[in-house]
Amino acid sequence: MRRLLAIGLALLAGSIPGMPLLAAQDVKQGDSTITVFRSPMVITTTVAVVDQARWHKDGQDRWFVDDEYARLGTFTCDGISIRRNNNDKKGTWEPGLRMSARLRADDIVEVKVSLSVHNPKGNHDKAVSALFEVLDGETVVQSGTIKKIGIEEGDKQKEDQVLVRIPAAQLSKQPALALRITMTTKND
């Protein structure tokens, strides 16, 4: 044991010929404060309409957001953020991702996914596309695409929707379904 300790101390001190001097290492986890991304940006979040009480039955859309949806507005993809009613002066916005659900007679839930994007002043005009994939683990249950939202520099928001159909039984599964959004932007 003493011999191992002596060798270890000698290595640290660099006193063994031919052996490199060992220095203290500084290893860090990646920066968790990064909010600026280049296209494509991939986000995985929750599905806000898994609770049947949130499904509308009267033909009127009832829009729901999850707490995570407001936080999505902090991320940008080539300057574009997922926000509604952005207020630059106050630094506030409403969630730019919303969902509405309606149960059909055949036990299929029609989920409308609404995406609002914001393009700040000084950013180039953009064309935004988004692929929405409802995930059960790593398996894609359903998907839908918003092909192009044209948004000019300084536009507070532009919005589009996509409809995905999910079996009702799938929405009540545990662990809960996830939503993966792949957002791409191009200069317009």
CA dihedral sign, ordered 141, 142, 147, 150: negative
Q: What pLDDT does 34 receive?
A: 78
Q: What is the pLDDT of residues 119-131, one digit of tens each?
A: 999 898 999 999 9
Q: What pLDDT does 163 receive?
A: 95
Integer CA distances (angstroms), 56 to 36, 59, 99, 110, 112, in order: 36, 7, 11, 10, 11
Q: What pLDDT does 188 receive?
A: 82
Taking alpha carbons only, the member of 119, 67, 127, 121 closest to residue 95 is 67
Say which residues have a Cβ less than 8 Å from residue 4's Cβ, sequence separation at least 6: none
Integer CA distances (angstroms), 90 to 15, 35, 85, 120, 154, in order: 61, 19, 11, 14, 16
Q: What pLDDT does 157 receive?
A: 87
3.40.30.10, 2.60.40.10, 2.160.10.10, 3.30.70.270: which CATH number matches 27-187? Answer: 2.60.40.10
Q: What is the pLDDT of residues 101-113, one digit of tens each?
A: 888 889 898 999 9
CA dihedral sign, ordered 65, 44, 55, 143: positive
CB 51 within 8 A of CB 66: no
Q: What pLDDT does 93 receive?
A: 92
CB 167 within 8 A of CB 130: no
CB 106 within 8 A of CB 176: no
User: For the chain, which residues score pLDDT lower than 50?
Assistant: 1-30
Q: What pLDDT does 118 receive?
A: 94
